[in-house]
Amino acid sequence: MSMIWKRLQKNFKKKQNVQYTEELDLPQSSQQLDQNLQTNIRNMKDTLGNSSDLIIREFKIGQNPVYNAALICMDGLIDADFINDFLMKTLMNKLENSEKSDAKSPQDLLIKIKEKVLTVAEVKNAQGWNKLLLSLLSGETVLLIDGCDDTLVCSTKGGELRSILEPVSELSIRGPRDSFTESIRTNTAMVRRRIKSPNLWVETMQIGEITQTDVGMMYVKGIVNDKLVQEVKERLERIEIDEVLASNTIEEYIIDATVSPWPTIFVTERPDVVAGNLMEGRIVIFVDGTPFPLLVPATWNQFFQSAEDYYLRWNIASFIRFIRVVSLLLAMLGPSIYIAFLSFHQELIPSPLLVSLAAQRQGIPFPVFIEALLMEFTFEILREAGVRMPRPVGSAVSIVGALVLGDAAVQAGIVSAGMVIVVSATAIGSFTIPHHSMVDAVRIIRFALMALAASFGIYGIGLGVIMLVAHTCSLRSFGIPYLAPFAPLILSDQGDTILRLPKPWLAKRPRLVDQNKIGRSNNTPKPKPPEKGSNTIKKDHSKRNADET
């Protein structure tokens, strides 16, 4: 079966590649610019379709001789005030008020403007239409001079951007209240404010034949494994696609296990979570236009850790993590165990409880499995409706709908009260899992275990759990075992798993992620109480009493 599946995948990829090269015949704009300014402007309008947001400002520059020039930018992507104050005024006033120009040619004038005139921090040359168009569509301003086939590109990015707000999906009571935005530069700056180290490196590339989306790879040099950096870079460079509009597109192309229900790439919107994972030797992938960067490699244990755990005392955080694991088992196995016990193993239920459940099921027209499916699908519909509707209405619909439908179903004799309790407990248990991608995986696994329980009882549940554990043990995330540090068992990495030990005890980074700088901190000595007879507070108090006397 595995060979057949691999062959089907290979044939599908071949068909995709053929279709990609045959249907998409995109124009290549690798030719050089023309020395005639009007020709370049005409080519620019033809390439961009004479778009209404294309701004072309023609003017004269220099003195003795005077050259025709043009500033080109895209409305909405640039800072208009910055262009007016630092480009137009500078170019027209400084060069007009100066004496005879020492520029013997338009190329010399361009060099003089770059080196002596412009007060913009980032100015670069762009030869060829490819670089020019990419810079223009990225929010930069292009300066063209008649008689010169070179151009200057000035960084003037601006426009309307969303401000930094509180996290929506990863709330925290005591931690920071900032979250990522859709701007890749804002996101990298938020991480740099937390890690002020020259070893924090960012490598940026463009992915997407049409969209040319900026994708940044950030890591801490000296902590991260160099082989991991090379592996991530190779996977990103292999992506051939027209559009990259969100980080999910990158995730689906670089993920290890495509058909697995478990998420093997970690997604977050919190800068503090990214900074903490970078210091453990992981790599973060930023995608321009989305506030959800990707963290690799990811382990199963990460998805049960919340940012709030590191702002609480270690014993409270450990207790909360234990509650999450118990809630996971309840959300994944609760309906299956209920179906198996009532359908096949009634002798395992205590007699008083069995009598109560039997009385509740009198008049129910459906088997236990169908009853559970009806309730689970009803709850999934309510959950989806609550998510898609406006926020003030969505929460009311999900809560009131669950109460009304559950009570009405029991009163009508469609489902039993026990089934409503089990499904409600399952839903509440899934809400305690801090990351939505893991919640989605648990939802899929729950339905599969329900089918096995309805077919084979408790033995079906055992078979499903064994298959699930075996599958999870076989997964890897960028070469790292998915169940690390449980399988393989690494005792030194158990301090930040289900239990979180005090920070001074976590002196080493995870071994499977980091291979360079294992040590995280020195063994800071624990403060000790003063010895008997040397209590400085008591001495100061006695001295003060003596002085008062």
pLDDT in tens, 162-205: 888 888 888 888 888 999 999 999 999 999 999 999 999 999 99
Domain final position from 274, 298, 322: 298
- Per-residue confidence band for 536, with pLDDT thresholds at 50, 70 and 90: low
Domain end among 298, 332, 351: 298
Dist. CA 148–CA 34, nearest whole Å: 8
Same domain, 276 and 319: no
Instruction: Please identify, among 111, 138, 155, the residue that sits at the C-terminal boundary of a domain.
Output: 155
- Domain identity same for 356 and 476: yes
The reply to whether 17 falls in a domain is no
Mean pLDDT of 255-268: 92
The fraction of the chain above a pLDDT of 90, given in percent, is 41
In a domain, 228, yes or no: yes
Helix (H, G, I), strand (E, B) or coil at 59: strand
Q: What is the pLDDT of residue 492?
A: 80
Regarding whether 456 and 409 lie in a shared domain, the answer is yes
Contacts of 146 (CB under 8 A, 6+ apart): 35, 36, 37, 38, 67, 68, 69, 106
For residue 85, pLDDT over 90 is answered with no
Q: Are residues 367 and 417 located together in one domain of the fold?
A: yes
Residues 220 and 341 occupy one common structural domain: no
Same domain, 275 and 379: no
Calculate the alpha carbon distances from 316 to 181, 323, 505 in Å: 31, 11, 16
Average pLDDT score, the chain:
84
Q: 467 and 382 in one domain?
A: yes
Location of structure tokens 């209240």: 177
- The residues, any chain, with a CB within 8 Å of residue 136's CB and separated by 6 or more, are 72, 73, 74, 142
Containing domain of residue 384, as a range? 311-481
State the pLDDT confidence band at 468, using cuts at 50, 70 and 90.
very high
In a domain, 62, yes or no: yes
Give the total number of structural domains in the chain: 3
State whether 48 and 126 are in the same domain: yes
Task: Give the best-scoring range by mean pLDDT among 165-174, 332-341, 376-385, 519-528.
Answer: 332-341
Spatial distance between the Cα atoms of 107 and 67, rounded to a whole number of angstroms: 11
Per-residue pLDDT at 264 exceeds 90: yes
Q: What average pLDDT score do residues 126-142 get?
A: 87
In the prediction, which pLDDT does 216 show?
A: 95
Q: What is the per-residue pLDDT across 279-320, written as a single tens digit (0 to 9) for each?
A: 988 999 999 999 999 999 999 999 999 988 999 999 999 999
In a shared domain, residues 343 and 365: yes
